[in-house]
Chains A and B, each alone.
Chain A
Protein backbone atom coordinates (compact mmCIF):
# COMPACT_ATOMS: atom_id res chain seq x y z
CA UNK A 1 0.00 0.00 0.00
CA UNK A 2 2.76 2.43 0.94
CA UNK A 3 4.48 1.49 -2.26
CA UNK A 4 1.36 2.33 -4.24
CA UNK A 5 0.97 5.71 -2.54
CA UNK A 6 4.66 6.41 -3.14
CA UNK A 7 4.16 5.57 -6.78
CA UNK A 8 1.32 8.09 -7.02
CA UNK A 9 3.40 10.74 -5.26
CA UNK A 10 6.49 10.17 -7.41
CA UNK A 11 4.39 10.10 -10.56
CA UNK A 12 2.57 13.32 -9.82
CA UNK A 13 5.80 15.02 -8.70
CA UNK A 14 7.67 14.07 -11.87
CA UNK A 15 4.59 14.76 -13.99
CA UNK A 16 4.26 18.28 -12.62
CA UNK A 17 7.73 19.19 -13.90
CA UNK A 18 7.04 17.57 -17.29
CA UNK A 19 3.85 19.66 -17.29
CA UNK A 20 5.84 22.90 -17.20
CA UNK A 21 7.95 21.69 -20.11
CA UNK A 22 4.87 20.52 -22.02
CA UNK A 23 3.20 23.89 -21.42
CA UNK A 24 6.26 25.60 -22.87
CA UNK A 25 6.13 23.40 -25.98
CA UNK A 26 2.38 23.92 -26.43
CA UNK A 27 2.70 27.71 -26.09
CA UNK A 28 5.46 27.83 -28.70
CA UNK A 29 3.54 25.49 -31.01
CA UNK A 30 0.37 27.52 -30.70
CA UNK A 31 2.05 30.84 -31.33
CA UNK A 32 4.40 29.96 -34.22
CA UNK A 33 3.65 26.35 -35.32
CA UNK A 34 7.16 25.34 -34.37
CA UNK A 35 8.16 22.48 -32.10
CA UNK A 36 11.00 24.01 -30.17
CA UNK A 37 13.61 21.28 -29.82
CA UNK A 38 15.85 23.90 -28.22
CA UNK A 39 13.43 24.20 -25.30
CA UNK A 40 15.65 21.95 -23.20
CA UNK A 41 18.71 24.03 -24.10
CA UNK A 42 16.90 27.22 -23.13
CA UNK A 43 15.83 25.61 -19.85
CA UNK A 44 19.44 24.55 -19.29
CA UNK A 45 20.67 28.10 -19.86
CA UNK A 46 18.06 29.43 -17.42
CA UNK A 47 19.16 26.83 -14.89
CA UNK A 48 22.76 28.02 -15.16
CA UNK A 49 21.56 31.60 -14.76
CA UNK A 50 19.59 30.44 -11.74
CA UNK A 51 22.78 28.84 -10.41
CA UNK A 52 24.64 32.15 -10.78
CA UNK A 53 21.79 34.00 -9.06
CA UNK A 54 21.76 31.55 -6.17
CA UNK A 55 25.52 32.10 -5.85
CA UNK A 56 25.13 35.88 -5.91
CA UNK A 57 22.04 36.30 -3.75
CA UNK A 58 22.28 33.12 -1.70
CA UNK A 59 18.53 32.82 -1.85
CA UNK A 60 16.64 30.37 -4.04
CA UNK A 61 13.41 32.34 -3.67
CA UNK A 62 14.87 35.38 -5.39
CA UNK A 63 16.81 33.34 -7.95
CA UNK A 64 13.82 31.34 -9.24
CA UNK A 65 11.61 34.27 -10.34
CA UNK A 66 14.62 36.21 -11.65
CA UNK A 67 15.76 33.21 -13.68
CA UNK A 68 12.23 32.90 -15.06
CA UNK A 69 12.22 36.55 -16.13
CA UNK A 70 15.61 36.20 -17.79
CA UNK A 71 14.50 32.94 -19.42
CA UNK A 72 11.46 34.78 -20.78
CA UNK A 73 13.65 37.58 -22.16
CA UNK A 74 16.02 35.12 -23.81
CA UNK A 75 13.10 33.24 -25.33
CA UNK A 76 11.64 36.47 -26.70
CA UNK A 77 15.05 37.29 -28.17
CA UNK A 78 15.17 33.90 -29.90
CA UNK A 79 11.72 34.49 -31.36
CA UNK A 80 12.65 37.92 -32.66
CA UNK A 81 16.09 37.07 -34.01
CA UNK A 82 15.71 33.50 -35.24
CA UNK A 83 12.08 32.53 -35.70
CA UNK A 84 11.01 35.77 -37.40
CA UNK A 85 13.92 35.51 -39.84
CA UNK A 86 12.93 31.92 -40.44
CA UNK A 87 9.32 32.80 -41.17
CA UNK A 88 10.39 35.66 -43.43
CA UNK A 89 12.74 33.39 -45.42
CA UNK A 90 10.36 30.47 -45.36
CA UNK A 91 9.99 28.58 -48.60
CA UNK A 92 7.05 26.43 -49.52
CA UNK A 93 9.29 23.76 -51.04
CA UNK A 94 9.76 20.19 -49.87
CA UNK A 95 12.03 21.30 -47.05
CA UNK A 96 9.58 23.78 -45.54
CA UNK A 97 8.64 21.22 -42.88
CA UNK A 98 12.14 20.53 -41.67
CA UNK A 99 13.49 24.08 -41.56
CA UNK A 100 12.09 25.02 -38.11
CA UNK A 101 13.03 21.62 -36.66
CA UNK A 102 16.61 21.91 -37.83
CA UNK A 103 16.88 25.55 -36.83
CA UNK A 104 15.82 24.80 -33.24
CA UNK A 105 18.13 21.79 -33.22
CA UNK A 106 20.97 24.07 -34.28
CA UNK A 107 19.98 26.48 -31.55
CA UNK A 108 20.14 23.63 -29.02
CA UNK A 109 23.72 22.86 -30.05
CA UNK A 110 24.61 26.53 -30.04
CA UNK A 111 23.28 27.10 -26.52
CA UNK A 112 25.07 24.00 -25.24
CA UNK A 113 28.37 25.12 -26.73
CA UNK A 114 27.91 28.60 -25.30
CA UNK A 115 27.20 27.21 -21.84
CA UNK A 116 30.34 25.10 -22.18
CA UNK A 117 32.38 28.18 -23.06
CA UNK A 118 31.03 30.21 -20.15
CA UNK A 119 30.71 27.68 -17.33
CA UNK A 120 32.95 24.84 -18.53
CA UNK A 121 31.90 21.23 -18.98
CA UNK A 122 32.03 20.22 -15.32
CA UNK A 123 28.97 19.80 -13.13
CA UNK A 124 27.84 22.78 -11.12
CA UNK A 125 25.86 22.27 -7.95
CA UNK A 126 22.74 24.06 -6.75
CA UNK A 127 21.79 23.58 -3.11
CA UNK A 128 18.14 22.57 -2.68
CA UNK A 129 16.36 25.24 -0.64
CA UNK A 130 14.38 22.67 1.36
CA UNK A 131 14.98 19.24 2.82
CA UNK A 132 14.71 16.31 0.44
CA UNK A 133 13.95 13.80 3.21
CA UNK A 134 10.43 12.49 3.01
CA UNK A 135 7.72 13.25 5.57
CA UNK A 136 6.97 10.54 8.11
CA UNK A 137 3.51 9.07 8.31
CA UNK A 138 3.43 6.79 11.36
CA UNK A 139 6.46 4.54 10.97
CA UNK A 140 6.87 4.88 7.23
CA UNK A 141 8.75 7.54 5.31
CA UNK A 142 6.73 8.45 2.24
CA UNK A 143 8.08 9.74 -1.06
CA UNK A 144 7.00 13.28 -0.39
CA UNK A 145 9.59 15.70 0.92
CA UNK A 146 9.22 19.43 1.62
CA UNK A 147 11.10 19.91 -1.66
CA UNK A 148 8.57 17.83 -3.59
CA UNK A 149 5.75 19.73 -1.96
CA UNK A 150 7.35 23.01 -3.03
CA UNK A 151 7.61 21.78 -6.63
CA UNK A 152 3.97 20.75 -6.62
CA UNK A 153 2.81 24.07 -5.18
CA UNK A 154 4.95 26.11 -7.59
CA UNK A 155 3.70 24.21 -10.60
CA UNK A 156 0.10 24.39 -9.44
CA UNK A 157 0.40 28.13 -8.88
CA UNK A 158 1.88 28.62 -12.35
CA UNK A 159 -0.80 26.55 -14.03
CA UNK A 160 -3.50 28.51 -12.20
CA UNK A 161 -1.93 31.86 -13.11
CA UNK A 162 -1.60 30.78 -16.75
CA UNK A 163 -5.17 29.50 -16.76
CA UNK A 164 -6.35 32.84 -15.37
CA UNK A 165 -4.36 34.77 -17.98
CA UNK A 166 -5.71 32.65 -20.80
CA UNK A 167 -9.34 32.61 -19.73
CA UNK A 168 -9.95 35.94 -18.06
CA UNK A 169 -7.66 38.60 -19.53
CA UNK A 170 -7.49 40.45 -22.83
CA UNK A 171 -3.96 39.19 -23.32
CA UNK A 172 -5.21 35.61 -23.02
CA UNK A 173 -7.95 36.31 -25.52
CA UNK A 174 -5.39 37.71 -27.99
CA UNK A 175 -3.12 34.69 -27.40
CA UNK A 176 -5.98 32.30 -28.08
CA UNK A 177 -7.21 34.27 -31.08
CA UNK A 178 -3.84 34.41 -32.80
CA UNK A 179 -3.32 30.69 -32.17
CA UNK A 180 -6.75 29.94 -33.65
CA UNK A 181 -6.27 32.01 -36.77
CA UNK A 182 -3.50 34.58 -37.18
CA UNK A 183 -5.20 36.26 -40.15
CA UNK A 184 -8.58 36.72 -38.48
CA UNK A 185 -6.92 37.86 -35.25
CA UNK A 186 -4.91 40.41 -37.20
CA UNK A 187 -8.06 41.72 -38.88
CA UNK A 188 -9.68 42.04 -35.47
CA UNK A 189 -6.87 44.32 -34.37
CA UNK A 190 -4.63 41.87 -32.52
CA UNK A 191 -0.95 42.60 -33.01
CA UNK A 192 -0.06 39.04 -33.90
CA UNK A 193 3.70 39.61 -34.06
CA UNK A 194 3.86 40.95 -30.52
CA UNK A 195 1.51 38.23 -29.28
CA UNK A 196 3.82 35.56 -30.77
CA UNK A 197 6.76 37.03 -28.88
CA UNK A 198 4.73 37.02 -25.68
CA UNK A 199 3.79 33.37 -26.27
CA UNK A 200 7.47 32.51 -26.64
CA UNK A 201 8.47 34.46 -23.55
CA UNK A 202 5.86 32.77 -21.34
CA UNK A 203 7.19 29.47 -22.69
CA UNK A 204 10.71 30.57 -21.80
CA UNK A 205 9.64 31.32 -18.24
CA UNK A 206 7.88 27.96 -17.89
CA UNK A 207 10.94 26.18 -19.27
CA UNK A 208 13.21 28.03 -16.86
CA UNK A 209 11.06 26.97 -13.93
CA UNK A 210 11.03 23.38 -15.21
CA UNK A 211 14.81 23.32 -15.53
CA UNK A 212 15.56 24.81 -12.11
CA UNK A 213 12.96 22.76 -10.24
CA UNK A 214 14.02 19.54 -11.98
CA UNK A 215 17.61 20.22 -10.99
CA UNK A 216 17.08 21.03 -7.32
CA UNK A 217 14.46 18.30 -7.03
CA UNK A 218 16.78 15.72 -8.61
CA UNK A 219 20.53 15.39 -8.36
CA UNK A 220 21.17 19.08 -7.72
CA UNK A 221 23.87 19.18 -10.39
CA UNK A 222 23.83 20.35 -13.99
CA UNK A 223 26.32 20.05 -16.82
CA UNK A 224 26.00 21.09 -20.47
CA UNK A 225 25.45 17.46 -21.44
CA UNK A 226 22.97 16.65 -18.66
CA UNK A 227 20.93 13.63 -19.59
CA UNK A 228 18.14 15.04 -17.45
CA UNK A 229 17.59 17.81 -19.93
CA UNK A 230 17.33 15.42 -22.87
CA UNK A 231 14.74 13.59 -20.81
CA UNK A 232 12.96 16.81 -19.94
CA UNK A 233 12.77 17.60 -23.66
CA UNK A 234 11.56 14.15 -24.66
CA UNK A 235 9.08 13.72 -21.83
CA UNK A 236 7.83 17.27 -22.25
CA UNK A 237 7.31 16.61 -25.97
CA UNK A 238 5.57 13.29 -25.31
CA UNK A 239 3.33 14.88 -22.67
CA UNK A 240 2.46 17.75 -25.00
CA UNK A 241 1.63 15.38 -27.87
CA UNK A 242 -0.48 12.95 -25.87
CA UNK A 243 -2.26 15.99 -24.47
CA UNK A 244 -3.08 17.14 -27.97
CA UNK A 245 -0.34 19.73 -28.58
CA UNK A 246 -2.99 22.46 -28.75
CA UNK A 247 -4.39 22.70 -25.27
CA UNK A 248 -2.81 23.73 -21.98
CA UNK A 249 -5.06 21.56 -19.77
CA UNK A 250 -4.25 18.72 -22.19
CA UNK A 251 -0.54 19.28 -21.68
CA UNK A 252 -0.92 19.16 -17.89
CA UNK A 253 -3.11 16.06 -18.08
CA UNK A 254 -0.71 14.39 -20.51
CA UNK A 255 2.24 15.18 -18.25
CA UNK A 256 0.58 13.78 -15.13
CA UNK A 257 -0.51 10.62 -16.97
CA UNK A 258 3.03 10.19 -18.33
CA UNK A 259 4.51 10.79 -14.87
CA UNK A 260 2.21 8.19 -13.30
CA UNK A 261 2.84 5.57 -16.01
CA UNK A 262 6.60 6.04 -15.73
CA UNK A 263 6.47 5.89 -11.92
CA UNK A 264 4.47 2.65 -12.17
CA UNK A 265 7.05 1.14 -14.52
CA UNK A 266 9.92 2.36 -12.39
CA UNK A 267 8.60 0.92 -9.15
CA UNK A 268 6.90 -2.27 -10.24
CA UNK A 269 8.91 -3.33 -13.33
CA UNK A 270 12.29 -1.82 -14.03
CA UNK A 271 13.84 1.62 -13.97
CA UNK A 272 15.71 1.13 -17.24
CA UNK A 273 12.49 0.52 -19.14
CA UNK A 274 10.98 3.98 -18.59
CA UNK A 275 12.29 5.43 -21.87
CA UNK A 276 10.99 2.64 -24.01
CA UNK A 277 7.63 2.70 -22.20
CA UNK A 278 7.38 6.44 -22.77
CA UNK A 279 8.10 5.84 -26.45
CA UNK A 280 5.49 3.09 -26.62
CA UNK A 281 2.93 5.33 -24.93
CA UNK A 282 3.64 8.06 -27.48
CA UNK A 283 3.24 5.65 -30.40
CA UNK A 284 0.07 4.18 -28.91
CA UNK A 285 -1.58 7.57 -28.46
CA UNK A 286 -0.50 8.73 -31.93
CA UNK A 287 -1.94 5.60 -33.51
CA UNK A 288 -5.20 5.38 -31.57
CA UNK A 289 -6.00 8.99 -30.79
CA UNK A 290 -3.70 11.26 -32.81
CA UNK A 291 -5.54 14.36 -31.68
CA UNK A 292 -4.50 13.65 -28.07
CA UNK A 293 -6.58 13.25 -24.92
CA UNK A 294 -8.05 16.71 -25.29
CA UNK A 295 -8.58 17.89 -28.80
CA UNK A 296 -11.03 17.65 -31.62
CA UNK A 297 -10.60 15.63 -34.78
CA UNK A 298 -9.61 18.71 -36.72
CA UNK A 299 -7.30 19.76 -33.92
CA UNK A 300 -4.16 18.34 -35.39
CA UNK A 301 -2.99 20.72 -38.04
CA UNK A 302 0.44 19.73 -39.18
Chain B
Protein backbone atom coordinates (compact mmCIF):
# COMPACT_ATOMS: atom_id res chain seq x y z
CA UNK B 1 0.00 0.00 0.00
CA UNK B 2 2.68 2.46 1.11
CA UNK B 3 4.95 1.45 -1.75
CA UNK B 4 2.38 1.52 -4.56
CA UNK B 5 0.05 4.35 -3.59
CA UNK B 6 1.92 6.52 -1.12
CA UNK B 7 -0.44 9.48 -1.50
CA UNK B 8 -3.50 7.35 -0.75
CA UNK B 9 -1.75 5.83 2.24
CA UNK B 10 -0.88 9.25 3.60
CA UNK B 11 -4.45 10.51 3.15
CA UNK B 12 -5.84 7.41 4.86
CA UNK B 13 -3.40 7.86 7.73
CA UNK B 14 -4.48 11.48 8.00
CA UNK B 15 -8.15 10.43 8.15
CA UNK B 16 -7.30 7.93 10.85
CA UNK B 17 -5.60 10.66 12.88
CA UNK B 18 -8.64 12.90 12.37
CA UNK B 19 -10.99 10.22 13.66
CA UNK B 20 -8.67 9.48 16.55
CA UNK B 21 -8.48 13.14 17.57
CA UNK B 22 -12.25 13.11 18.18
CA UNK B 23 -12.07 10.08 20.44
CA UNK B 24 -9.27 10.90 22.91
CA UNK B 25 -9.05 13.50 25.68
CA UNK B 26 -7.43 16.94 25.60
CA UNK B 27 -4.06 15.88 27.01
CA UNK B 28 -3.63 13.17 24.38
CA UNK B 29 -4.54 15.63 21.63
CA UNK B 30 -1.91 18.02 22.88
CA UNK B 31 0.65 15.22 23.04
CA UNK B 32 -0.35 14.28 19.52
CA UNK B 33 0.44 17.81 18.38
CA UNK B 34 3.84 17.58 20.10
CA UNK B 35 4.56 14.26 18.40
CA UNK B 36 3.71 15.80 15.03
CA UNK B 37 6.07 18.71 15.70
CA UNK B 38 8.86 16.37 16.77
CA UNK B 39 8.27 14.32 13.62
CA UNK B 40 8.89 17.43 11.51
CA UNK B 41 11.98 18.48 13.48
CA UNK B 42 13.47 14.97 13.50
CA UNK B 43 12.80 14.58 9.79
CA UNK B 44 14.79 17.76 9.19
CA UNK B 45 17.76 16.29 11.07
CA UNK B 46 17.45 13.01 9.18
CA UNK B 47 17.51 14.94 5.92
CA UNK B 48 20.69 16.70 7.00
CA UNK B 49 22.28 13.48 8.16
CA UNK B 50 21.17 11.92 4.90
CA UNK B 51 23.82 13.88 3.07
CA UNK B 52 26.65 14.29 5.54
CA UNK B 53 26.50 11.31 7.87
CA UNK B 54 26.68 13.94 10.60
CA UNK B 55 24.14 14.84 13.18
CA UNK B 56 23.37 18.44 14.07
CA UNK B 57 23.47 19.16 17.78
CA UNK B 58 22.07 22.64 17.26
CA UNK B 59 18.77 22.25 15.51
CA UNK B 60 17.11 23.97 18.45
CA UNK B 61 18.68 27.19 17.20
CA UNK B 62 17.03 26.81 13.78
CA UNK B 63 13.72 26.06 15.47
CA UNK B 64 14.20 29.25 17.46
CA UNK B 65 14.76 31.26 14.26
CA UNK B 66 11.50 29.89 12.87
CA UNK B 67 9.57 30.57 16.05
CA UNK B 68 10.80 34.14 16.37
CA UNK B 69 10.26 34.89 12.69
CA UNK B 70 6.67 33.69 12.91
CA UNK B 71 5.97 35.66 16.09
CA UNK B 72 7.61 38.84 14.80
CA UNK B 73 5.80 38.78 11.48
CA UNK B 74 2.47 38.20 13.20
CA UNK B 75 2.95 40.77 15.96
CA UNK B 76 4.46 43.55 13.86
CA UNK B 77 2.89 43.17 10.45
CA UNK B 78 -0.20 41.31 11.52
CA UNK B 79 0.58 38.53 9.06
CA UNK B 80 -2.08 35.85 8.71
CA UNK B 81 -1.18 32.51 10.27
CA UNK B 82 -0.28 30.71 7.06
CA UNK B 83 1.97 33.60 6.03
CA UNK B 84 3.66 33.61 9.45
CA UNK B 85 4.49 29.94 8.98
CA UNK B 86 5.86 30.62 5.48
CA UNK B 87 8.00 33.44 6.84
CA UNK B 88 9.27 31.11 9.56
CA UNK B 89 10.33 28.60 6.92
CA UNK B 90 12.03 31.25 4.80
CA UNK B 91 13.88 32.88 7.69
CA UNK B 92 15.17 29.59 9.05
CA UNK B 93 16.13 28.45 5.54
CA UNK B 94 18.11 31.66 5.12
CA UNK B 95 19.91 31.03 8.41
CA UNK B 96 20.49 27.46 7.34
CA UNK B 97 21.88 28.63 3.99
CA UNK B 98 24.48 30.80 5.74
CA UNK B 99 25.33 28.04 8.19
CA UNK B 100 25.42 25.56 5.32
CA UNK B 101 28.00 27.63 3.47
CA UNK B 102 30.30 27.12 6.43
CA UNK B 103 29.11 23.61 7.20
CA UNK B 104 29.75 22.38 3.67
CA UNK B 105 33.43 22.79 4.44
CA UNK B 106 33.12 21.05 7.78
CA UNK B 107 33.24 17.35 8.25
CA UNK B 108 33.69 14.92 11.07
CA UNK B 109 32.85 16.19 14.53
CA UNK B 110 33.44 19.80 13.46
CA UNK B 111 29.85 20.17 12.27
CA UNK B 112 28.47 18.73 15.49
CA UNK B 113 30.58 21.07 17.60
CA UNK B 114 29.82 24.11 15.48
CA UNK B 115 26.08 23.55 15.59
CA UNK B 116 26.39 22.98 19.33
CA UNK B 117 28.09 26.36 19.71
CA UNK B 118 25.29 27.95 17.68
CA UNK B 119 22.61 26.40 19.88
CA UNK B 120 24.28 27.86 22.96
CA UNK B 121 25.00 31.21 21.33
CA UNK B 122 21.81 32.08 19.50
CA UNK B 123 19.37 32.41 22.42
CA UNK B 124 21.58 35.09 23.94
CA UNK B 125 20.79 37.35 20.97
CA UNK B 126 17.19 37.44 22.16
CA UNK B 127 18.38 39.13 25.33
CA UNK B 128 20.55 41.59 23.45
CA UNK B 129 17.94 43.27 21.26
CA UNK B 130 14.69 44.53 22.73
CA UNK B 131 12.72 43.61 19.60
CA UNK B 132 12.97 39.95 20.69
CA UNK B 133 11.42 40.66 24.08
CA UNK B 134 14.27 39.40 26.30
CA UNK B 135 13.74 36.51 28.71
CA UNK B 136 9.95 36.77 28.54
CA UNK B 137 10.00 36.48 24.78
CA UNK B 138 7.11 37.30 22.47
CA UNK B 139 3.52 36.26 22.28
CA UNK B 140 2.51 34.13 19.35
CA UNK B 141 -1.22 33.74 19.12
CA UNK B 142 -2.77 32.05 16.10
CA UNK B 143 -6.27 32.74 17.31
CA UNK B 144 -9.23 30.50 18.04
CA UNK B 145 -10.28 27.76 15.61
CA UNK B 146 -12.70 28.91 12.89
CA UNK B 147 -16.32 29.03 14.07
CA UNK B 148 -17.41 26.78 11.22
CA UNK B 149 -15.79 23.82 13.00
CA UNK B 150 -18.36 23.99 15.76
CA UNK B 151 -18.52 25.35 19.26
CA UNK B 152 -16.99 22.38 21.04
CA UNK B 153 -13.90 22.32 18.80
CA UNK B 154 -11.09 22.95 21.29
CA UNK B 155 -7.95 25.01 20.86
CA UNK B 156 -5.68 22.00 21.35
CA UNK B 157 -7.52 20.05 18.68
CA UNK B 158 -6.96 22.98 16.33
CA UNK B 159 -3.23 22.89 17.14
CA UNK B 160 -3.22 19.16 16.53
CA UNK B 161 -4.92 19.51 13.17
CA UNK B 162 -2.45 22.13 11.98
CA UNK B 163 0.61 20.27 13.27
CA UNK B 164 -0.51 16.87 11.99
CA UNK B 165 -1.38 18.25 8.57
CA UNK B 166 2.00 19.98 8.37
CA UNK B 167 3.77 16.78 9.44
CA UNK B 168 1.94 14.68 6.85
CA UNK B 169 2.68 17.14 4.05
CA UNK B 170 6.34 17.49 5.05
CA UNK B 171 6.97 13.76 5.34
CA UNK B 172 5.20 13.08 2.04
CA UNK B 173 7.21 15.79 0.35
CA UNK B 174 10.51 14.70 1.90
CA UNK B 175 9.83 11.15 0.87
CA UNK B 176 9.50 12.31 -2.71
CA UNK B 177 12.60 14.52 -2.47
CA UNK B 178 14.64 11.65 -1.07
CA UNK B 179 13.61 9.53 -4.05
CA UNK B 180 14.32 12.28 -6.54
CA UNK B 181 17.55 13.27 -8.24
CA UNK B 182 18.50 15.42 -5.25
CA UNK B 183 17.96 12.57 -2.81
CA UNK B 184 20.13 10.28 -4.90
CA UNK B 185 22.81 12.95 -5.09
CA UNK B 186 22.77 13.32 -1.31
CA UNK B 187 23.06 9.61 -0.83
CA UNK B 188 26.00 9.54 -3.23
CA UNK B 189 27.71 12.37 -1.35
CA UNK B 190 27.08 10.63 1.95
CA UNK B 191 28.50 7.37 0.65
CA UNK B 192 31.69 8.79 -0.77
CA UNK B 193 32.06 12.45 -1.63
CA UNK B 194 35.09 12.00 -3.88
CA UNK B 195 33.30 9.38 -5.96
CA UNK B 196 30.22 11.62 -6.07
CA UNK B 197 32.32 14.52 -7.32
CA UNK B 198 33.83 12.31 -10.04
CA UNK B 199 30.32 11.29 -11.08
CA UNK B 200 29.59 14.93 -11.81
CA UNK B 201 27.75 15.91 -8.63
CA UNK B 202 28.51 19.36 -7.29
CA UNK B 203 29.21 18.28 -3.72
CA UNK B 204 29.36 21.73 -2.18
CA UNK B 205 26.11 22.96 -3.73
CA UNK B 206 24.29 19.77 -2.74
CA UNK B 207 25.46 20.05 0.85
CA UNK B 208 24.34 23.67 1.10
CA UNK B 209 20.99 22.82 -0.50
CA UNK B 210 20.38 19.99 1.96
CA UNK B 211 21.30 22.25 4.85
CA UNK B 212 18.96 24.99 3.59
CA UNK B 213 15.98 22.66 3.20
CA UNK B 214 16.66 21.03 6.54
CA UNK B 215 16.79 24.43 8.22
CA UNK B 216 13.57 25.55 6.56
CA UNK B 217 11.73 22.48 7.83
CA UNK B 218 13.23 23.01 11.27
CA UNK B 219 11.93 26.58 11.13
CA UNK B 220 8.42 25.30 10.46
CA UNK B 221 8.74 22.97 13.45
CA UNK B 222 9.87 25.94 15.55
CA UNK B 223 6.86 28.02 14.51
CA UNK B 224 4.51 25.12 15.28
CA UNK B 225 6.18 24.62 18.66
CA UNK B 226 5.72 28.31 19.41
CA UNK B 227 2.06 27.94 18.38
CA UNK B 228 1.36 25.20 20.91
CA UNK B 229 2.85 27.16 23.81
CA UNK B 230 1.60 30.55 22.51
CA UNK B 231 4.97 32.22 23.13
CA UNK B 232 8.54 32.25 21.92
CA UNK B 233 11.30 32.83 24.43
CA UNK B 234 14.94 31.76 24.78
CA UNK B 235 13.81 29.28 27.44
CA UNK B 236 11.57 27.48 24.93
CA UNK B 237 14.59 26.47 22.82
CA UNK B 238 17.17 25.29 25.34
CA UNK B 239 20.21 23.17 24.57
CA UNK B 240 18.22 20.24 25.95
CA UNK B 241 15.78 20.61 23.03
CA UNK B 242 18.60 20.32 20.51
CA UNK B 243 19.90 17.28 22.33
CA UNK B 244 16.48 15.63 22.48
CA UNK B 245 15.97 16.20 18.77
CA UNK B 246 19.35 14.62 18.01
CA UNK B 247 18.37 11.78 20.32
CA UNK B 248 15.05 11.37 18.55
CA UNK B 249 16.80 11.27 15.20
CA UNK B 250 19.19 8.56 16.36
CA UNK B 251 16.42 6.49 17.92
CA UNK B 252 14.46 6.79 14.66
CA UNK B 253 17.47 5.78 12.63
CA UNK B 254 19.28 8.56 10.79
CA UNK B 255 19.49 6.88 7.41
CA UNK B 256 15.81 6.53 6.62
CA UNK B 257 12.60 8.47 7.12
CA UNK B 258 10.70 5.26 7.78
CA UNK B 259 11.24 5.28 11.52
CA UNK B 260 10.65 8.95 12.20
CA UNK B 261 7.62 8.22 14.36
CA UNK B 262 9.67 6.04 16.72
CA UNK B 263 11.88 8.86 17.93
CA UNK B 264 9.05 11.39 18.14
CA UNK B 265 6.76 9.08 20.11
CA UNK B 266 9.63 8.06 22.42
CA UNK B 267 10.45 11.68 23.22
CA UNK B 268 6.84 12.37 24.20
CA UNK B 269 6.23 9.02 25.85
CA UNK B 270 9.21 8.91 28.21
CA UNK B 271 8.10 11.77 30.50
CA UNK B 272 4.62 10.24 30.46
CA UNK B 273 5.93 6.80 31.46
CA UNK B 274 8.06 8.33 34.20
CA UNK B 275 5.02 10.24 35.49
CA UNK B 276 2.97 7.07 35.77
CA UNK B 277 5.84 5.18 37.43
CA UNK B 278 6.37 8.01 39.90
CA UNK B 279 2.69 8.33 40.79
CA UNK B 280 2.25 4.58 41.17
CA UNK B 281 5.24 3.95 43.43
CA UNK B 282 5.18 7.38 45.09
CA UNK B 283 8.90 7.80 44.65
CA UNK B 284 10.81 10.89 45.62
CA UNK B 285 11.17 14.06 43.59
CA UNK B 286 14.78 13.19 42.77
CA UNK B 287 13.68 10.12 40.86
CA UNK B 288 11.00 12.07 39.03
CA UNK B 289 13.54 14.70 38.01
CA UNK B 290 16.25 12.37 36.81
CA UNK B 291 14.56 9.25 35.55
CA UNK B 292 13.66 10.72 32.12
CA UNK B 293 17.26 11.76 31.49
CA UNK B 294 18.52 8.39 32.61
CA UNK B 295 16.10 6.49 30.37
CA UNK B 296 16.78 8.64 27.30
CA UNK B 297 20.55 8.54 27.63
CA UNK B 298 20.64 4.81 28.32
CA UNK B 299 18.42 4.21 25.31
CA UNK B 300 20.72 6.42 23.26
CA UNK B 301 23.90 4.58 24.24
CA UNK B 302 22.30 1.18 23.66
CA UNK B 303 21.00 2.30 20.27
CA UNK B 304 24.39 3.43 18.96
CA UNK B 305 26.06 0.35 20.33
CA UNK B 306 23.66 -2.25 18.98
CA UNK B 307 21.47 -0.74 16.25
CA UNK B 308 23.49 2.24 14.99
CA UNK B 309 21.42 2.40 11.79
CA UNK B 310 18.15 2.55 13.68
CA UNK B 311 15.52 -0.14 14.23
CA UNK B 312 13.83 0.21 10.82
CA UNK B 313 17.04 -0.15 8.83
CA UNK B 314 18.09 -3.05 11.05
CA UNK B 315 14.84 -4.91 10.38
CA UNK B 316 15.11 -4.29 6.67
CA UNK B 317 18.69 -5.56 6.59
CA UNK B 318 17.65 -8.69 8.45
CA UNK B 319 14.70 -9.15 6.11
CA UNK B 320 16.94 -8.81 3.06
CA UNK B 321 19.45 -11.28 4.45
CA UNK B 322 16.68 -13.76 5.04
CA UNK B 323 15.27 -13.21 1.57
CA UNK B 324 18.65 -13.96 0.03
CA UNK B 325 18.96 -17.21 1.91
Chain A interface (Cβ < 8 Å from any Cβ of B)? 34-35, 37, 82, 85-86, 89, 91, 93-103, 105-110, 112-114, 116-117, 120-121, 224, 230-231, 233-234, 237-238, 241, 270, 272-276, 278-279, 282-283, 286-287, 290, 302
Contact = CB atoms under 8 A, between A and B. Distances in A.
Interface stretch (B84-92, B102-110, B216-224): B102-110
Interface string B287-315: 10111011011101101111011000000
7 contacts: A91-B309, A93-B308, A101-B112, A224-B290, A272-B125, A275-B120, A302-B107
B120 A35 contact: no
Secondary structure of the B side of the interface? helix
A286 B190 CA distance: 21
A105 B246 contact: yes
Secondary structure of the A side of the interface? helix
Interface in B110-139: 110, 112-114, 116-118, 120-122, 124-125, 127-128
A8 B324 CA distance: 68
Nearest to B49: A98
B113 A35 contact: yes
B297 A286 contact: no
B180 interface: no
B60 to A, nearest CB: 12
A109 B302 CA distance: 13
A108 B121 contact: no
B54 interface: yes
B290 A286 contact: no
B239 A230 contact: yes
B243 interface: yes
B112 A35 contact: yes
Interface of B: 49, 52-55, 57, 102, 105-110, 112-114, 116-118, 120-122, 124-125, 127-128, 190-191, 239, 243, 246-247, 250, 254-255, 286-287, 289-291, 293-294, 296-298, 300-301, 303-306, 308-309
A117 B300 contact: no
Given A93-B308, A113-B294, A98 B121 contact: no
A113 B128 contact: no
Nearest to B284: A120
B132 to A, nearest CB: 11
Given A102-B246, A116-B289, 9 more contacts: A98-B53, A98-B112, A98-B304, A105-B57, A110-B293, A234-B120, A272-B124, A275-B117, A276-B121
Given A97-B108, A102-B246, A276-B122, A110 B113 contact: no
